Structure 1
Amino acid sequence: MKSLTLSLSIILSISLQAADRPAHSAVTPEPRSGGWMKRHESFNQRVAKGNVDLVFIGDSITHGWEGRGKEVWAKYYAKRNAVNLGIGGDRTQHVLWRLDNGNIKDISPKVAVVMIGTNNSGDGRNTAEEMIDGVTAVIDKLRAKLPKTKILLLDIFPRGQRINEQRGKILQVNQVLSRLNARPHVTFLRIGQNFVSPDGSIAKDIMPDFLHLTPEGYEIWAKSIEPTLARLMGE
């Protein structure tokens, strides 16, 4: 049977510093157009008002806190001066561009929750090594721009009804990303397994398309990070 991705021994040997490798798409800041830019600019307008203690940074799964996750967000984060900086379809390169162009300008939140990378994992997009570089670049940029902010980096959530090549790739990327936990002000937290049944499958009542979350899925997310988040927030 064809190996799902790089062997664990190889993936663990990948350096988290990509300086010796040529630049690639996952680490090259890039904007998008259309509605994406409008949402990006709305983030800039919100953070310019200040009073930001908590930010969530990511793609459509994070964006979904404003949709299926709205009630869960209100329950856990409404009183925490939280701002959702998620945009559907984003990859690491798009987040890097946003961080350079106003999304975190002149703020110093207590905590930044980061979950990004699943959109880099598709066929013809980025290798496992490049995904690691991309997520690491996001963390490096946050540390440089928000030196007082504590970063809660989540594993890239599982996708696909059952284990498949893409999910295997994500699992191995997460194994390496866990090493970022050793960095100052960075906490890596695995919660992806909380969306998966004992037999390895993902139920439709948690992820109806085996990627995006239902209200129940957002409740699992919130409960899974709450003890760690409360500690990092100093509560």
Structure 2
Amino acid sequence: MKNIILVISLFWATCAVSANKPLSIQPDVQTAEWAVKWWKPRHQEKLQLKEQMKQVDLVFLGDSITHAWDKKGKEVWQQRYAPLNALNIGFSGDRTEHVLWRLQHGAVDGIDPKLLVLMIGTNNTGHRQDKPEDTALGIQHILDLLETKLPNTKILLLAVFPRGATEDDPLRQINTKVNQIIKNYHDGKRIHYLDINFVFLDEKGNLSPAVMKDLLHPNKDQYKVWAEAIEPKVSALMQ
């Protein structure tokens, strides 16, 4: 009887510890109704593509903004990144916990890229309005896991892109606070932080529909702007 009570006590203690952890650091599959039909198949497709590529030297990892290199940014990708043996593993709707799950399930296994470009967090902001500290912690866990999975790979950690029309937008403010934390992850050796958000904003810090129609996702022409903004850093880190 005492053993049964002990097992039950340990079970509830484990549940309590898990409940106290932010969702941002608990690896999980995508369960959004609009995404479940394609999310795992895309994961499998990317695993197969990774295996088919003779060499992977550059990886882009993130959410829908990164996912769109396969669509809106495809022309720029073919010109700039395909020749660099690049792999795009951005998934629409992903939060930090989804990236953690994908990394735990083979997303970068068996490759040794020179550089990985990471941007994640805006869905933590928009879907749940996670505390900036929780989102930043999720990003830290991703970086830690990448260090284990890709010990020789440099990481270009991008500031979470701006969202909302003005600096007063509540979700923009959360992203800004996340960036204020994650910029401290820069060590100049393995992790290199870069904030290019100014290229999307006007002189007053406003975001126009001409840049991001929904004030969240870059328009097609902005993928060239993005590529040009990170080009000096990408070139330097891939040497």
Distance 1:104 1:131 in 2: 22
The alignment's TM-score, normalised by the length of structure 2, stands at 0.86
What is the match of residue 43 of structure 2?
40
Task: Name the SS for the 1:36 alignment partner.
Answer: helix
Does 1:188 pair with 2:188? Answer: no
SS state at 1:64 partner: helix
With 120-129 and 64-73 compared, the bigger mean Cα shift is at: 120-129
Size of the aligned set, in residue pairs, is 214
1:30 is matched with which residue? 28
Task: Give aligned-pair identity as a percent.
Answer: 41
Displaced runs of 4+ in structure 1, greater than 3 A?
Answer: none
Which residue in 2 is equivalent to 1:174? Answer: 179
How far 1:115 moved relative to its partner? Answer: 0.4
Local SS of the residue matching 2:126: coil
1:18-45 Cα deviation digits (max 9, x unpaired): xxx9422100000123210000111111
Structure 1 residue 51: Cα displacement: 1.1
Counterparts of 1:43 and 1:160, CA distance in 2: 31
Structure 1 length normalisation: TM-score? 0.87
User: Does the aligned pair in 2 maintain the 1:111–1:233 contact within 8 Å?
Assistant: yes
What is the rounded CA distance, in whole Å, between the counterparts of 1:60 and 1:124 in structure 2? 16
Larger Rg: 2
RMSD (Å) for aligned C-alpha atoms: 1.4
Among candidates 62, 67, 72, match of residue 63 of structure 1? 67
3-state SS in 2 of match to 1:202: coil
Unaligned ranges ≥5, structure 2: 1-18, 31-35
Structure-to-structure mapping, 1:65-214, within 5 angstroms: 65-122=69-126, 124-163=128-167, 164-182=169-187, 184-214=189-219
CA distance in 2, matches of 1:124, 1:57: 21
Q: Kindly indicate which of the two structures has a greater share of residues assigned to helix.
A: 2
Name the CA distance, whole Å, in 2 between partners of 1:125 and 1:224. Answer: 28
1:33-83, CA deviations, whole angstroms, 9 ceiling, x for partnerless residues? Answer: 321000011111111224111010000000111111111111211200001
- Which fold has the larger relative contact order, with Cα–Cα distance below 8 Å and residues 6 or more apart in sequence? 1
* C-alpha distance in structure 1 between counterparts of 2:27 and 2:230, whole Å: 28
Q: Counterpart of 1:27 in structure 2: which amino acid?
A: I
Q: CA–CA distance in 1 between the matches of 2:78 and 2:161?
A: 22
Q: What CA distance in whole angstroms lies between the structure 2 residues aligned with 1:126 and 1:184?
A: 29
User: How far apart, in 1, do the equivalents of 2:139 and 2:69 lie?
Assistant: 21
Deviation at 1:122, TM superposition (A): 2.4
